[in-house]
Copies of this chain bind each other. A is one copy, B any other.
Amino acid sequence: MPASVQLGTGQLPIDQSFSVTAFHDRSLNEEIIRFEDQLHRQTGIPFRGKPGAAPTLTVHFNHGRETVQKLGEDESYELTVTDSGAKLTAPTSLGILRGLQTFLQLVEITPTGFAVPAVTIKDQPRFPWRGLMIDVSRHFIPLDVLKRNVDGMAAVKMNVLHWHLSDDQGFRAESKKFPKLTTMASGEMFYSQDEIRDFIAYAHDRGIRVVPEFDMPGHSRSWFLGYPELASGPGPYTLADGGIAPAIDPTREETYKFLEKFIAEMAKLFPDAYFHIGGDEVDGKQWDANPKIQAFKQAHGMKSDQDLQAYFNRRLQKIVAKNHKTMMGWDEILHPDLPRTIVVQSWRGQQSLAAAARQGYSGVLSYGYYLDLMWPAARHYAVDPMSGDAATLNLDQQKLILGGESCQWAEWVTPENIDSHIWPRNAAIAERLWSPQNVTGVASMYARLHVVSLNLEWLGLTHRSARTLMLHRMAGDSSISALRVLADVVEPVKDYDRWDETKQGPIDFHAPLNRMIDAVYPESDTAREFAAFVQAYVQGGAKDPVAEAQIRASLTLWRDNDARLHPLLEQSFLLQEDEGLSQNLSALAAAGLAALDSIDKAQPPPDAWKTQQLALVEQAKKPQAGLLLMIAAPMEQLIQASATHN
């Protein structure tokens, strides 16, 4: 949602005569080709390879872009569309990129053709840092998948790809100085330096900075396969280890000699001004078990492992600064000994961010934006970097809150399903970070999200299509229509409940992710829309026959679904665990239909029936096979209503 929108009258037709003219530099030339390609994909109209036509959209800007995109570089633009043409202006060509994406979002099909409604838009971002973090360590994500996600980010005007390149389970960026980082700890799945440069250029072309993260001193087991001398405890190390998380030894001078060379190499490879050193969740057990490290702490008067980490970070910060970079890290790096130039990324929340800002530190919010926790878009959307404690900051402190970053940790994603874990929910976070603070309506957000989600498919994202393939895999050569009905109304368990399933040991990162929980969308549109229907129907005194018909149609489909689906579930080892879910769906729907009948006849059901059905609801709310049946709550509402509306 742009900062300012004024609707005009009429519309600009988009047909084969459409063309763009710009006074542009070379990079914008390519962006306009991409814009035309995208417009072609959306409409099916070929615009290229045809003779020149009168320009429909004219583009003007005053300055080209920075060679290395800067934090806070002007992204504003103005777009005016009338029934005879469109004009896009911006102070910089970066703003033009943003405005072209807005134009693409405005294209709609009408009874007379494709068109953009007449409109005047003045737009600029609320926050300068609008990022998506992708973990490529736990599961490797190839560059083609990253690139299409960058296309998605550009479509929703995000501007930072935070690349979580190393963690316990894999080291993914080639170092020529320390080749064993990838030869021994990537399973041959890593990015070469040429590929990294190519990817950074790709992102830059789309107005996106790439900030690398090398997590240290914790989350660093992968470093030790090739370089065990960096570790605080004896090896040998393997990627599959569970148990104590190893940490880099911050007491040896050789560690800093290594990091001097490594960071100098990476600082050259990654041109962005920011360099992320991780710093989260350091497990002190290895430090505590090492007498030399304990002696070092004592000798330097350090009281805690936090003090030791702060010492490490001070040393690290000097190396990063020597390479002309700003150091960035997670909450845990915050320590008064560090200079105010560092940036804190908060997974802890606005309180932590506000506390940092009061001490003069810049910060980026990630708390509330963890896509891997399977929250609905509305819940992410409600999280504002400036709310809570941050709302009490003074103006100067407020400016230190740079924005936010959604996070896609990769314990439970593969290249096959990562798109559906990121999209479309990430677009709601992108809007939170771009649009004015007072744009908070959830219903209109979901309406926009639906359109954005459709448009993202034209970029090659597979957030919707991958599920079809995964359902086919589970179903063999049987029809997936009944399976799709079940998949439409379930969601994976939330927060860290899936991690809890593996309490008996570490996650097996080589295990197949081919279950129903891996295929379904994190958020069920079907269940959300059904709940809204039931809510409106019940609140309206159960008097709306159209709403009732809608509800009844869904309930009938679901009631009859288990009979259709059951034979398939038995035939497939991957689906057997979903038998209970399917039975519950049909049983709940039958209860809902009985409740509707009872409301129709104005005959409240017997108390015993109600008690029994509510017990069924409670049982159906429990996760099965890692899945939640999302229509349990609205069904409870219908059953309750049947006892009162009569």
A residues sitting closer than 8 Å to B (CB atoms) are 16, 41-46, 48-50, 108-113, 187-189, 414, 416, 450-451, 454, 457-458, 465, 468-470, 472-477, 510-514, 518, 570-574, 576
Contacts of A512 in B (CB 8 A): 16, 43-46
Contacts of A476 in B (CB 8 A): 108-109
Q: How far is the CA of A510 from the CA of B510 in the complex (A)?
A: 48
Contacts known (A465-B465, A512-B43, A576-B111); A187 close to B49, Cβ less than 8 A: yes
Contacts known (A49-B188, A49-B189, A510-B49); A111 close to B572, Cβ less than 8 A: yes
CB distance from A485 to the nearest CB of B (A): 12
Contacts known (A465-B465, A512-B44); A109 close to B474, Cβ less than 8 A: yes
Contacts of A572 in B (CB 8 A): 109-111
CB <8 Å contact, A44 and B573 = no
Contacts known (A465-B465, A476-B109); A44 close to B416, Cβ less than 8 A: yes
Contacts known (A110-B573, A574-B109); A50 close to B510, Cβ less than 8 A: yes
CB distance from A173 to the nearest CB of B (A): 17
CB distance from A433 to the nearest CB of B (A): 24
Q: How far is the CA of A45 from the CA of B416 in the complex (A)?
A: 12
CB distance from A283 to the nearest CB of B (A): 26
Contacts of A576 in B (CB 8 A): 111
Shortest Cβ distance from A114 into B: residue: B573
Contacts of A474 in B (CB 8 A): 109
Contacts known (A110-B571, A110-B573, A468-B465); A514 close to B45, Cβ less than 8 A: yes
Q: Which of A48, A512, A570 has the most CB of B within 10 A?
A: A512
CB distance from A18 to the nearest CB of B (A): 12
Q: How far is the CA of A44 from the CA of B512 in the complex (A)?
A: 6
CB distance from A546 to the nearest CB of B (A): 13
CB <8 Å contact, B109 and A473 = yes
CB <8 Å contact, A44 and B473 = yes
Contacts known (A45-B514, A113-B573, A576-B111); A454 close to B468, Cβ less than 8 A: no
The one of B46, B454, B513 that contacts A44, using a Cβ cutoff of 8 Å: B513
Shortest Cβ distance from A452 into B: residue: B477
Q: Which of A16, A110, A475, A510 has the most CB of B within 10 A?
A: A510
Contacts of A188 in B (CB 8 A): 49
Contacts known (A570-B111, A573-B111); A451 close to B472, Cβ less than 8 A: no
Contacts known (A469-B457, A472-B457); A46 close to B416, Cβ less than 8 A: no
Q: How far is the CA of A511 from the CA of B512 in the complex (A)?
A: 45
| A–B pairs, 22, beta carbons within 8 Å | A16-B511, A43-B473, A43-B514, A44-B512, A44-B513, A44-B518, A45-B512, A46-B512, A49-B188, A49-B510, A50-B510, A109-B571, A110-B572, A110-B573, A111-B572, A111-B576, A113-B573, A454-B472, A457-B469, A457-B472, A458-B469, A465-B468
Contacts of A472 in B (CB 8 A): 454, 457
CB distance from A339 to the nearest CB of B (A): 41
Contacts of A50 in B (CB 8 A): 187, 510
Q: How far is the CA of A476 from the CA of B450 in the complex (A)?
A: 11
Contacts of A42 in B (CB 8 A): 473
CB distance from A646 to the nearest CB of B (A): 31
Contacts of A111 in B (CB 8 A): 570-573, 576
The one of B44, B416, B450, B518 that contacts A470, using a Cβ cutoff of 8 Å: B44
Contacts of A473 in B (CB 8 A): 42-44, 109
CB distance from A11 to the nearest CB of B (A): 12
CB distance from A478 to the nearest CB of B (A): 9
Shortest Cβ distance from A187 into B: residue: B49
CB <8 Å contact, A16 and B510 = yes
Shortest Cβ distance from A465 into B: residue: B465
CB <8 Å contact, A573 and B510 = no
Contacts known (A45-B514, A49-B187, A510-B16); A450 close to B477, Cβ less than 8 A: yes
CB distance from A483 to the nearest CB of B (A): 12
Q: How far is the CA of A571 from the CA of B514 in the complex (A)?
A: 40
CB <8 Å contact, B573 and A109 = yes
Shortest Cβ distance from A509 into B: residue: B46
Q: How far is the CA of A576 from the CA of B570 in the complex (A)?
A: 44
Q: Which of A112, A457, A570 has the most CB of B within 10 A?
A: A457
CB <8 Å contact, B465 and A477 = no
Q: How far is the CA of A512 from the CA of B498 in the complex (A)?
A: 47
Shortest Cβ distance from A42 into B: residue: B473
Contacts of A454 in B (CB 8 A): 472, 477
CB distance from A383 to the nearest CB of B (A): 26
Q: How far is the CA of A380 from the CA of B623 in the complex (A)?
A: 50
Q: Which of A42, A43, A111 has the most CB of B within 10 A?
A: A111
CB <8 Å contact, A573 and B49 = no
Q: How far is the CA of A193 from the CA of B41 in the complex (A)?
A: 28
Q: How far is the CA of A454 from the CA of B472 in the complex (A)?
A: 8
Q: How far is the CA of A47 from the CA of B636 in the complex (A)?
A: 45
Shortest Cβ distance from A515 into B: residue: B44
